[in-house]
Structure 1
Amino acid sequence: MKMKFPLPVDFFQCPPLAQEEIDQFKAQGRHSVKQLVQTAVLRGGPISWVLLSDETELKIYKAHDKLRNLSMYISRSTVVGTLDEVVDVFQTHTTELIKEAKRRVGKDLLDVATLYDFNPPHETSTINNVAIIYAAQKGPPFVASRDSVLLEVNSSAFRGTHIE
């Protein structure tokens, strides 16, 4: 049966999680952010990145993971503005804000929904947010659309220092 997007607002009925499960997701998120920051070092890091494409506002780099026989890609863009202005552009602590942010960068996005938001309401913001989200994306020609569930983590820590 082919699904119609966007899904109804009440499509996902997620059961409550135990505090231990929430803590595990947060710990996994922190670990993933640390790994990402270490991996994303373009020069002098653990991965040898090679410039693949150099456009005016976007550079794309490629590397090969010999251990897992995978190609990896990373992009870098320059955004002119204050940190607060950049954060405002990428707010993702509600389903509506996720849709708006993904619409700017994810042209093939069919639908997105917040399944769990692990931050108390007074602390919830993109700059420090851990959430589980659902995303459906249109596939390329002759490839079926795909959906996934993601642990999304946004952190204000950079090289061990908080930048709030």
Structure 2
Amino acid sequence: METAAKGAKKGEQRLVTQTTNPKKPGKVWNKPHRGVYSMFVLLYMDGIGHVHPWHVSMYALHGAAEYRNHLSGVYEQLTDEQRKYYDVVATLAARHNPTTHYDAAWTLAHVMNHIRDTGSDPKSTNGVWITPDSERVYLGYDGDPEVIVAYARSLLTK
């Protein structure tokens, strides 16, 4: 992990990787590969033992992206200090793009109300859900509708 010490990215982090020869420990095969900067980066291990970076940025921390962080359990695994910083970044994200933040909250509220009232999940076509009142609600794409519904259900069971 590399933290920028100066410049526009001061304080931000990025992952730096470098391949070593598995037959000769310590012998590097290539130069370091530096990733993109994010407000902070954590490493996690998946179910098959591979290590991956988890980036947190105020530019991509709204709606389904934020809900995924909670559903995956990553947020709950943060230390108190990391969680406070994450919450600050989430607040900055909401201030940086209030319309997107408002839209995500509005959508989540509609989905929660639908589940509470009907007991069923909203069904979307091409990311758009038509409510029983014929209102069009955009739920997103690439798995976002499922994430929004799962997060809504998780909040309703708390």
With structure 1 as the length reference, what TM-score do the two structures score? Answer: 0.23
- Higher normalized helix content (fraction of residues): 2
Structure with bigger strand share is 1
